[in-house]
Chain A
Amino acid sequence: MIPGILGKKIGMTQVFGPEGQVVPVTLLKTGPCVVTQRKTPASDGYDAVQLGLVEFVKASRISKPASGHLKKAGVDGAKYQRELRLGRGDRDLKPGDRVLVDEFRPRDKVDITGVSKGRGFAGFVKRHHFRGGDASHGSMFHRAPGSIGGSSYPSRVFPGMRAAGQMGSQQVTVRNLEVIEVDADDHVLMVKGAVPGPNGGYVVVRRAKR
């Protein structure tokens, strides 16, 4: 078994399940990936593989040290590289080995990690689902936070108080998504449900930890 695979989000659509029910799905272009480095307990203190997502990359976009590293594994271009820990039951992979999506089967469960869509500096209502006030009828209290602490006691704001700030553009993992279909010819993985990030965003697909 492979611990996981790297991919790119294509987009969402819907398909029909065996009982005719509508299933919302996300398509992922997963792989082909190549093992670019093998980390072993002897040399690195832990067991892992470094995968690179094989795709067309202009030669000038890869630095010379990086291209040398890739050449060792026999890859021309890989912009997206991530390390996956090897556990029990995982196949022993060597540098240069290809990791393909056909090792996943329908009904498998996967965890998918990506970088969520950036929302910029977002206010309370959008970021924490605070309710805000009435928009009209002379309310004068629209999307403001309200009280964030007492004035005489505690006369400070408690740490961790939810506030406005950067929302999105952070790493998010969605766990236990079901694999619906695997298209080995086009390297496409179809999972049930939504996946973090925009279309075209990079994702890591791991076997579900449960």
Chain B
Amino acid sequence: MQTALLAKVSNKYRRTDLPEIRIGDTIRVHVKIKEGDKERLQAFEGMVIARKNAGLGETITVRKSSFGHGVERIFPLSAPVVDHIDVVRTGRVRRAKLYYMRGLRGKAARLRERE
């Protein structure tokens, strides 16, 4: 019964509007950014290389290459700052964490598309 009450809270804050995101997918995350009293969306496009935790604390790590430098951002999936997520491209991978991508660049850092 106690876990049921915890589940009730998690269901209330849980988001259901996000698409299915798999490891290796290239996604575009639209983040709400507040500038003064105005709010705008900023997109961050990159490859999902890790997915951690479960429930309300679930996060994804998105990696992209920006002017030759690797940039990674960790997004909490249930956070309201994430406005929406587009899946740009799928990727076929054989492991859950793609940390080996950090050592690869350019053509070597490509993934085959998932069927």
Interface residues of A (CB under 8 A from B): 10-11, 13-16, 20, 22, 25, 27, 29, 183, 186, 188, 190, 199-200
Q: Bound state CA distance, A22 and B8, in angstroms? A: 18
Q: Bound state CA distance, A158 and B98, in angstroms? A: 58
Q: In this complex, what residue of A is CB-closest to B10? A: A13
Interface residues of B (CB under 8 A from A): 2-3, 5-6, 8-10, 13, 32, 55-57, 76, 78-81
A11 touches B56 (CB 8 A): no
Chain A residues whose CB sits within 8 angstroms of the CB of B2 once the complex forms: 10-11, 29, 199-200
Q: Majority SS of interface residues in chain B?
A: helix
Known interface pairs A15-B56, A199-B2; A27-B9 also in contact (CB < 8 Å)? yes
Q: Bound state CA distance, A178 and B55, in angstroms? A: 23
A20 touches B79 (CB 8 A): yes
Which of A20, A22, A27, A200 is close to B5, meaning CB atoms less than 8 Å apart?
A27
Which of B3, B6, B78 is close to A16, meaning CB atoms less than 8 Å apart?
B78
Chain A residues whose CB sits within 8 angstroms of the CB of B32 once the complex forms: 20
Shortest Cβ distance from A8 into chain B, in angstroms? 8
Q: Bound state CA distance, A22 and B3, in angstroms? A: 21
A10 touches B56 (CB 8 A): no
Chain B residues whose CB sits within 8 angstroms of the CB of A14 once the complex forms: 56-57
Q: Majority SS of interface residues in chain A?
A: strand
Shortest Cβ distance from A204 into chain B, in angstroms? 19
- The 9 A-B pairs at the shortest CB distance, nearest first, are namely A20-B81, A20-B80, A10-B2, A15-B13, A10-B5, A16-B80, A14-B56, A11-B6, A188-B5
Known interface pairs A13-B56, A15-B56; A186-B5 also in contact (CB < 8 Å)? yes
Chain A residues whose CB sits within 8 angstroms of the CB of B13 once the complex forms: 15-16
Known interface pairs A13-B55, A15-B56, A199-B2; A190-B9 also in contact (CB < 8 Å)? yes
Q: Bound state CA distance, A16 and B81, in angstroms? A: 10
B8 touches A186 (CB 8 A): yes
Q: Bound state CA distance, A13 and B9, in angstroms? A: 9
Shortest Cβ distance from B113 into chain A, in angstroms? 33
Q: In this complex, what residue of B is CB-closest to A28? A: B5
Chain B residues whose CB sits within 8 angstroms of the CB of A183 once the complex forms: 8
Q: In this complex, what residue of A is CB-closest to B56? A: A14
Q: Bound state CA distance, A25 and B9, in angstroms? A: 11
Q: Bound state CA distance, A166 and B5, in angstroms? A: 34
Q: In this complex, what residue of A is CB-closest to B57? A: A14
Shortest Cβ distance from A9 into chain B, in angstroms? 9
Q: Bound state CA distance, A93 and B9, in angstroms? A: 32
A15 touches B9 (CB 8 A): yes
Chain B residues whose CB sits within 8 angstroms of the CB of A15 once the complex forms: 9, 13, 56
Known interface pairs A13-B55, A15-B56, A16-B13; A27-B6 also in contact (CB < 8 Å)? yes
Q: In this complex, what residue of A is CB-closest to B13? A: A15
Q: Bound state CA distance, A14 and B32, in angstroms? A: 20
Q: Bound state CA distance, A192 and B57, in angstroms? A: 16
